[in-house]
Homo-oligomer: A and B are copies of this chain.
Amino acid sequence: MQVERMLWRMQKVTQIRELRQIIRAQRRLGKSIALVPTMGYLHRGHLSLVEHAKGDGVFIVMSLFVNPLQFGVKEDFSKYPRDLERDAEMAEKAGVDLLFHPDVAEMYPQPVLSYIDIDELAGVLCGTSRPGHFRGVCTVVGKLFNIVQADKVYFGQKDYQQYLIIKRMAEDLNFAVEVIAAPIIREDDGLAMSSRNVYLSPVHRKEAVVLNRSLEKAELDIGNGQRNARMIGKMIKEQITQESSGQIDYVEVRNAEDLTELEEIKGKVLIALAVRFGTTRLIDNKVVEVKENV
Chain A residues close to B by CB (< 8 Å): 16, 20, 110, 112-121, 138-139, 142-143, 146-147, 149, 168-169, 171-176
Bound Cα distance A236, B121 (Å): 47
**For A119, what are the chain B residues with a Cβ–Cβ distance below 8 Å?**
113-115
Find chain B residues with CB under 8 A from A20 CB.
176
B115 near A118 with CB under 8 A, answer: yes
Query: How near does chain B come to A48, taking the closest CB pair, in angstroms?
Result: 27
Q: A147 near B120 (CB under 8 angstroms)?
A: no
A175's partner among B113, B115, B138, B146 (CB-CB below 8 A) is B146
- Taking CB atoms, residues of chain B closer than 8 Å to A117 are 114-117
Shortest CB distance A33–B (Å): 13
Q: Which of A168, A172, A175 has the most CB of B within 10 A?
A: A172
Looking at the complex, which one of B114, B138, B139, B149 makes contact with A138 (CB distance below 8 Å)?
B114
Point out the residues of chain B lying under 8 angstroms from A172, CB to CB: 110, 112-114, 143
Q: Do B176 and A139 have beta carbons less than 8 Å apart? A: no
Decide if B173 touches A113 in the complex (CB within 8 Å). no
Q: Which residues of B contact A118 (CB under 8 A)?
A: 113-115
Of the candidates B16, B112, B173, the one whose C-beta lies within 8 Å of that of A142 is B173
Q: How far is the CA of A176 from the CA of B27 in the complex (A)?
A: 15
- Complex contact B113–A116 (CB within 8 A): no
- Are the CB atoms of B146 and A113 closer together than 8 Å? no
Report the Cα distance A139→B139, complex, angstroms: 13
Chain B residue at minimal CB-CB distance from A119:
B113
Contacts of A173 in B (CB 8 A): 114, 116, 139, 142-143, 146
> A116: nearest residue on chain B (CB-CB)?
B116
Q: A16-B174, A112-B172 are in contact. List 12 more A-B contacts (CB 8 A).
A: A113-B121, A113-B169, A114-B116, A114-B118, A114-B119, A114-B168, A114-B169, A114-B173, A115-B118, A116-B116, A116-B117, A146-B173
Which residue of the partner chain B has the closest CB to A258?
B113
Interface centre among A16, A139, A143, A174 (most CB of B within 10 A): A174
Task: Tell me how far the C-beta of A52 lies from the nearest C-beta in chain B, rounded to whole angstroms.
Answer: 24
**Cα distance A241–B169 when bound, in Å?**
46
In the bound complex, do residue B174 and residue A146 qualify as a contact, i.e. CB atoms below 8 Å apart? yes
B176–A149 touching, CB < 8 Å: yes
Most buried by B among A16, A117, A138: A117
